Amino acid sequence: MCGIIGYTGPAAVKNILLEGLAQLEYRGYDSAGIAIAKDDGSIYIEKQTGQVANLKAICDQADDDGHCGIGHTRWATHGGVTRPNTHPHQVGRVTLIHNGIIENYHEIIEKFDLKDQLVSETDTEVAAALLNHFYDGDPEEAIRKAVQELEGSFAFCILFEGFTDRIFCIRNVSPLVASSTPEGSLVASDITAVIKYSKQYFVVPEYHLMVLYQDHIDLFDENGVKAEPEILEVNWDVESAQKMGFPHYMLKEIHEQPEAIIKTITPRLKNGLPCFEGEGIDDEFFKNFTNINVVACGTAMYAGMVGKAIIEPIVKVPVSVNIASEFRYSTPLIDKHTLTIVVSQSGETIDTLAALRLAKSCGSRVLAIVNVKGSSIARESDYVLYTHAGPEIAVASTKAYSVQLSVFYLLACKCALVRGIFDETKGREFIDNLYKCIDAISGVLEHKEIIEKAVEHLKDAEHAYYIGRGLDYAFSMEGALKLKEVSYVHAEAYAAGELKHGTIALIEEGIPVVAFATQDAVYNKTISNIREVKARNAYVILITKEDAEIPEGVCDLHLTVPIKDDLFTGLPTVVILQLIAYYTSIARGLNVDKPRNLAKSVTVE
Ligand code: M6R
């Protein structure tokens, strides 16, 4: 939620900020703004509603004066999408940008009598006014005093009058990374905005005060003692965060799935079997828990649903899958015998992070499946299995989901091996099947024209239903979310057998139903459910395995996945669902990479 960039150095800052904002735009695109400390000490502020391109258009006319500045792309929380609500906010001698939510901003307005200084509806401007209230020429002191008053999450980058060659930063929960490079010092919400200048960076520790100078960065802990940052290195390059000839990031990222899965599973195999010793997890770890608690949000949570459907029947331990925003305020029945698995692409989702902390406080060990290196969730978990998907820029998660599924397959296999359920031969066969999924995905991608046929029907639909049983039901949840989020077609996933308990009342002539029947054990049952919707004149898009025998008249369009083993149909099936959502969005003329109202990284509750 919201993207932050700051730079101070020898280069002209304006284009560095605008380019950085363009890289961070997936974090929020309601409005954008920059503040530049001009060489005469004055501060130039420009802001605009809408995408960064709108801001760029007006900034292009401005001169390049200024070598220190901050920029922000907003995902609105407090106050509408208006110019006054756009960051940076300036109050008196303080100019700042903010990612997060100040929960007690009403109390602060009252306590410090700030009302008359505010022109926006934002919580952020209150923080600027509070800092201005405490500022008497010592920025660090003002920040320390202000932060003691603030409740909530924040990542601030601040310019103080009198110190316009440097940027002051502090954060709690909301992410911030920084990098000191020969070309100047940078701070940003995430590494995508920094990687052009350096592959080395550090995560700003919470409540540490950071000051960016042109040629170095100072970091101080809560007691004001100088701290050494822990330098990390990204293992992808600038091209990974670009479209590379694809019209959209989403399509590029869908195509990157075979490679992302290979990169995620191959380093974790030893003699053809899963091994997590590289991550410091020994076999004993997988023997001891009695139940698994998966916690995540959105697509990551749906990956957990598939994880449950894979692990439970093989490992025979109960797996519960919880929505993090619900779990964090619940009284969970977990303890030291529970393995909690938190799943997150960004590693910064605030609800997942809070759920992780709750699970730990109950004595549960926490294993994170995370894509972004050094992220908060990765740092706070007991163990981390990084997915190696590279940067995922499109707001809709695609490759991150399939690598999360791959890790669940590895975990299921590992648990089965250490618990004596699989012998080595069975384990290797399982891993071979996982590799077959990679070829199957490539097969789906090669024949994607057929998927465009499904879209001919979906593009004008108002509603769509996704149905399946067992594992198919788990995939259908992700399929429905994908369609909703990028095409704005209202889509719901239902367990196929549950339809007749209410939902079937909604089925009428022509309504699209995407039906999955890839599971032999329930194939006939699912086909019966499909007949029920077909009898009510639904338009049925059926997905089965290649060798399935399809009864006459049961569907209008038939798509297949080239996989034989039921347990492994998920990965290629999901690619079909992603493509259906992608092409539907394009056919409806929508911004597929930046769907309305969304942001990539959900760092507010
Ligand atoms: O970064 P995370 O994986 O924790 O994000 C969780 C959800 O916000 C995310 O999966 C969201 O549902 C995606 N936009 C779905 O495509």
What is the position in ligand 1's atom list of the atom closest to the CA of 598? Answer: 14
Mutating to test ligand 1, I would choose from 253, 294, 297, 582 the residue with most ligand atoms within 8 A of its C-beta, which is: 297
Phi, psi at 7, each rounded to 5°: -145, 140
Mutating to test ligand 1, I would choose from 249, 250, 346, 582 the residue with most ligand atoms within 8 A of its C-beta, which is: 346
CA-closest residue to ligand 1 atom 11: 298
Return d(Cα 65, Cα 363) in angstroms, integer. 55
- Is the C-beta atom of 371 inside 6 A of ligand 1? no
- Is the C-beta atom of 398 inside 6 A of ligand 1? no
Task: Tell me if 6 sits within 8 A of 37, measured CB to CB.
Answer: no
> What is the β-pairing status of strands 269-270 and 209-212?
unpaired
**Cα 418 to ligand 1 centroid, rounded to whole Å:** 32
**Cα 300 to ligand 1 centroid, rounded to whole Å:** 6
Residue type, 252: K
Q: Is 275 a catalytic residue?
A: no
- Is the C-beta atom of 485 inside 6 A of ligand 1? yes
**Cα 395 to ligand 1 centroid, rounded to whole Å:** 8
Return d(Cα 380, Cα 366) in angstroms, integer. 9
- Is the C-beta atom of 392 inside 6 A of ligand 1? no
What is the position in ligand 1's atom list of the atom closest to the CA of 600? Answer: 14
Listed as ranges, residues in the chain with pLDDT below 50 are: none
Q: Is 594 a catalytic residue?
A: no
**Residue that the structure tokens 């002539």 belong to:** 509
pLDDT of residue 461: 95
Out of 373, 414, 545, 600, which one is annotated catalytic?
600
Structure tokens at 206: 């919470």
- Is the C-beta atom of 344 inside 6 A of ligand 1? yes
Task: Tell me if 91 sits within 8 A of 41, measured CB to CB.
Answer: no
Task: Tell me if 444 sits within 8 A of 578, measured CB to CB.
Answer: no
Among candidate residues 397, 339, 326, the one with its CA nearest the CA of residue 368: 339
pLDDT of residue 604: 74
Q: ω before 88 within 30° of 0 (cis)?
A: yes
CA-closest residue to ligand 1 atom 8: 298
pLDDT of residue 225: 96
**Residue that the structure tokens 């409740």 belong to:** 151
Among candidate residues 89, 97, 76, 108, the one with its CA nearest the CA of residue 6: 97
Sign of CA dihedral 91, 95, 101, 107: negative
The full 3-state SS of 376-403, as one line of letters, equals HHHHHCCEEEECCCCCCCCCCCCHHHHH
Out of 2, 68, 157, 415, which one is annotated catalytic?
2
- Is the C-beta atom of 603 inside 6 A of ligand 1? no
CA-closest residue to ligand 1 atom 10: 299
Give the Cβ contact number of residue 588 at 10 Å: 16
Return d(Cα 596, Cα 586) in angstroms, integer. 14
pLDDT of residue 181: 96
**Cα 328 to ligand 1 centroid, rounded to whole Å:** 17
pLDDT of residue 598: 86
- Is the C-beta atom of 491 inside 6 A of ligand 1? no
- Is the C-beta atom of 300 inside 6 A of ligand 1? yes
- Is the C-beta atom of 476 inside 6 A of ligand 1? no
Among candidate residues 99, 111, 189, the one with its CA nearest the CA of residue 146: 111
- Is the C-beta atom of 351 inside 6 A of ligand 1? no
Which residues fall within 8 angstroms of residue 512, CB to CB, at 6 or more apart? 457, 458, 461, 463, 464, 465, 538, 539, 541
- Is the C-beta atom of 175 inside 6 A of ligand 1? no
**Cα 487 to ligand 1 centroid, rounded to whole Å:** 16
Structure tokens at 54: 């709108």
- Is the C-beta atom of 340 inside 6 A of ligand 1? no
CA atoms within 13 A on the CB side of 249: 24
DSSP-derived letter for residue 54 is H
Sign of CA dihedral 110, 116, 122, 123: negative
Phi, psi at 336, each rounded to 5°: -65, -15
Mutating to test ligand 1, I would choose from 174, 189, 295, 299 the residue with most ligand atoms within 8 A of its C-beta, which is: 299
pLDDT of residue 142: 98
pTM of the model: 0.85
In angstroms, the Cα distances linking 544 to 470, 527, 549, 564, 565 are: 14, 11, 9, 10, 12
Task: Tell me if 23 sits within 8 A of 44, measured CB to CB.
Answer: no
CA-closest residue to ligand 1 atom 12: 298
Cα diameter, the chain: 81
